């Protein structure tokens, strides 16, 4: 059974664009990264998965169920962190986690405390006195504590410091190792790359691609940033096999590399190089190329 299956899923807000004909499948036991900038349609997609908004056309099934018809049965099997997380201001974090746990079935207090320790969360102060990051930790605990079959997370590490972010990613890896599934919506490319098996990139409400991470990285161009004592003349790197100049700033030249580096190294030897940084292709290269219209996803 697929964890999520969307078929031509569309949501229009009057004359405004929402999402259009989204078709994708999330396999059980994987981390599925859902990438796009603010306004691309990530949050609308999640609201459709949760039946918070109804589709204009198309269909979606979550854990084999219809989010509209089977909403109550489905929600106990999900863990959700929304992008616009809101919590009861007068309650403490512990009271909030206890409340949501009671709706799903009792959760041992030791499990709550273990998560709070890993995320360095304060559960005993009223929410109104907590920072954004501290509230985010409570949202994560209530989503994770009942060990849901499917986690649907919208920018889950927003407001967290790097050490806590790493703990969150570890928790997601552990969830998948146990056979559970993660739908991770984010614009933090480095974060998604570290945990995702496959990614979808959404642009202006439409899916541009769905592919596994390693295949995308193999298709992306490497990047070489070279600092010179004096800027080489325009066109100095034209005609070098697998090399394309993509930008200049002062005496720094950025080059895209597709293939062996030897021809580029020999060309650079004609000039005085004061610094060189070779950047391995990653999801950021794919994402930026796609959004700048530079030859699609590669």
- pLDDT (tens digit, 9 = 90+) per residue, 41-61? 999 999 999 999 999 999 999
| Upper half-sphere CA count for residue 44 (Cβ side, 13 Å) | 26
Residue 294 has pLDDT above 70, yes or no: no
Distance separating alpha carbons of residues 208 and 115, to the nearest angstrom: 36
Q: What's the pTM value of the predicted model, to 2 decimals?
A: 0.82
- The DSSP bridge pattern shows strands 222-228 and 206-212 to be unpaired
Domains and CATH numbers, the chain: 4-214 (3.40.50.300), 221-280 (3.30.70)
Distance separating alpha carbons of residues 55 and 155, to the nearest angstrom: 23
In the predicted model, what is the mean pLDDT of residues 66-90?
93
Distance separating alpha carbons of residues 251 and 205, to the nearest angstrom: 39
Dig out the tokens for 39 from the structure. Answer: 């306004």
Among 198, 154, 207, which residue's Cα sits nearest to residue 176?
198
* pLDDT recorded at residue 61: 97
pLDDT bracket for residue 141 (50, 70, 90): very high
Residue 291 has pLDDT above 80, yes or no: no
Contacts 24+ apart (CB under 8 A), 247-255: 251/227, 252/225, 252/226, 252/227, 252/228, 253/225, 253/226, 253/228, 254/223, 254/224, 254/225, 254/226, 255/223, 255/224, 255/225, 255/226
- The residue with tokens 């596994």 is 212
* pLDDT recorded at residue 70: 95
Dig out the tokens for 187 from the structure. Answer: 């614009």
Residue 165 has pLDDT above 50, yes or no: yes
In the predicted model, what is the mean pLDDT of residues 13-26?
90
Residue 296 has pLDDT above 50, yes or no: no
Residue 297 has pLDDT above 50, yes or no: no
pLDDT bracket for residue 289 (50, 70, 90): low
């Amino acid at each position: 059974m697929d964890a999520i299956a969307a078929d031509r899923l569309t949501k229009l807000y009057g004359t405004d664009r929402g999402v259009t004909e989204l078709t994708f499948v999330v396999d059980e036991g994987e981390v599925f990264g859902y990438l796009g900038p603010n306004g691309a349609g990530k949050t609308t997609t999640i609201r459709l998965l949760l039946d918070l908004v109804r589709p204009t056309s198309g269909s979606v099934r979550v854990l084999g169920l219809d989010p509209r018809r089977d909403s109550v049965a489905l929600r106990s099997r999900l863990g959700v962190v929304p992008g616009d997380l809101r919590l009861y201001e007068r309650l403490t974090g512990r009271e909030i986690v206890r409340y949501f746990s009671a709706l799903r079935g009792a959760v041992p207090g030791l499990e709550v405390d273990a998560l709070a320790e890993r995320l360095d969360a304060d559960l005993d102060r009223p929410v109104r006195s907590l920072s954004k990051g501290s509230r985010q930790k409570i949202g994560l605990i209530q989503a994770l504590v009942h060990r849901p079959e499917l986690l649907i997370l919208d920018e889950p590490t927003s407001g967290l410091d790097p050490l806590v972010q790493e703990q969150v990613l570890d928790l997601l890896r552990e969830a998948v190792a146990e056979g559970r599934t993660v739908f991770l919506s984010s614009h933090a490319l480095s974060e998604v790359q570290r945990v995702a098996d496959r990614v979808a990139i959404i642009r202006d409400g439409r899916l541009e691609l769905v592919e596994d991470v390693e295949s995308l990285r193999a298709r992306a161009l490497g990047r070489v940033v070279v600092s010179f004592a004096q800027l080489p003349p325009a066109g100095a790197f034209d005609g070098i096999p697998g090399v394309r100049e993509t930008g200049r700033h002062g005496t720094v030249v950025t080059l895209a590399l597709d293939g062996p580096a030897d021809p580029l190294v020999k060309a650079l030897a004609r000039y005085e190089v004061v610094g060189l940084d070779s950047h391995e292709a990653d999801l950021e290269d794919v994402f930026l190329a796609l959004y700048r219209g530079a030859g699609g996803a590669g």
